[in-house]
Amino acid sequence: MTRSRPIILVHGGAGLRGMNEAQASCLAETLRAGYALLNAGAPALDAVEAAIRVLEASGLFNAGVGSRVQLDGVRRMDASIMEGRHLRAGAVAAIERIVHPITAARLVMDETSHVLLVGRPATRFAYHFKLERQLTAGPAARRVRRHGLAAAFTAKTLRLYKAMAGTDGPTRRRPGRETVGAVALDWKGTVAAGASTGGIDCMLPGRVGDTPLIGCGVYADDRAGAVSMTGLGEAIIRIAVAKEITDRLAEGLAPGAAARVVLTKLVSRIRGAAGALVLSPDGRFAIKHTTPRMAAGYWNGTGKPVVRDQFA
């Protein structure tokens, strides 16, 4: 296989509404930061983590300081990261008060032999490594508290959830800020994938989506490619979308075709909605979404970073 020059793809979530200017320039800045690392010889894993850190710190997306809160007013975040050479992976779920869940995920990978840490112990693990803390829970949490929902999980919370979710189950109704993710290929031909999220609208306390689940929200294998997902986690989990797309790449499908086949299955079998970044180790890539919009971009160091909110 001819070795490709490095490339990085990032996304700011799939949803109903287009991105605003601030989000577009943040995604472009992210691509520049990630590509600069790749070009200097850094591993794809470093570029993915660095890119996601920019998005988590921006407050412009549903990740890190911009994360949504759950129905009890608490912000619980999920993130994962994986590299394709040795199939190493790390993830955190329901982590609280950390600016960079993606770095907590990376630390799980680098500093332990586990793959996934959850809840308060995950938060304490991040504190142990002195990860930056969020200063406030944010205006959304204050609003939830004002409406009297801040108590722990109660019958009231469940009633509220049922009323809000209706008969269709979980939703991602409120557009604007969405999940973030990235995939990258380095000079050595290694791929990596990552994602970070504050979840969906109207989540029961303790709800975890696809993002921290290896094979669902992300997957990376140098023999096939790298995938980072966004969309309704409840559907993505049931099809194990990231692994299924990677398997199609391994069978020889091009990134666009692999994404199309699996996203079509997601929609037709279980009425899911999602977007995917798909990158193969030879540098071919696709950005596909079943939602009206997906904020995303790519750059391989030639020309300018490309950032759009709609891809064919």
Residues of the shown chain interacting with ligand ASP in the complex, contacts defined by CB under 6 A: 13, 172, 178-179, 197, 199-200, 209-211, 230-233
3-state helix, strand, coil in the chain (%, to 5): 35, 25, 40
Eight-state DSSP code of residue 168: G
Nearer to ligand ASP, 64 or 233 (CB): 233
Place of tokens 């109903």: 16
**Tokens standing for residue 254:** 């091009």
Residue 5 or 173 with smaller CB distance to ligand ASP: 173
Residue 89 DSSP class:
E
Nearer to ligand ASP, 40 or 267 (CB): 267
Q: Which is nearer to ligand ASP, 85 or 207 (CB)?
A: 207
Active site residues: 179
Burial annotation 115-153 (CB, 10 A radius, 16+ → b, else e): bbbbeeebbebbeeeebbebeebbebbeebeeeebbeee
CA dist 104 and 93 (Å) reads 10
List residues bridging with 97 in a β-sheet.
none
What secondary structure letter does DSSP report for 295? E
Instruction: Determine which helix (DSSP H) or strand (DSSP E) holds 121, and give its type and residue range.
Output: helix 119-128
> What's the closest the beta carbon of residue 6 comes to ligand ASP, in angstroms?
25
| CA pair distance 167, 303, nearest whole angstrom | 48
Residue closer to ligand ASP, measured from CB, 13 or 34: 13
Distance of closest approach, residue 178 Cβ to ligand ASP, in angstroms: 5
Q: Which residue's CB is nearer to ligand ASP, number 42 or number 240?
A: 240
Phi-psi region of 84 (alpha: psi -120 to 50; beta: other; left: phi over 0): alpha
- Shortest Cβ distance from residue 290 to ligand ASP (Å)? 12
Length of the chain: 312
Calculate helix-pair angle for 101-111, 44-58, nearest 10 degrees.
150
In a 10 Å sphere around its CB, with 0-12 CB exposed, 13-18 middle and 19+ buried, how is residue 165 labelled? middle
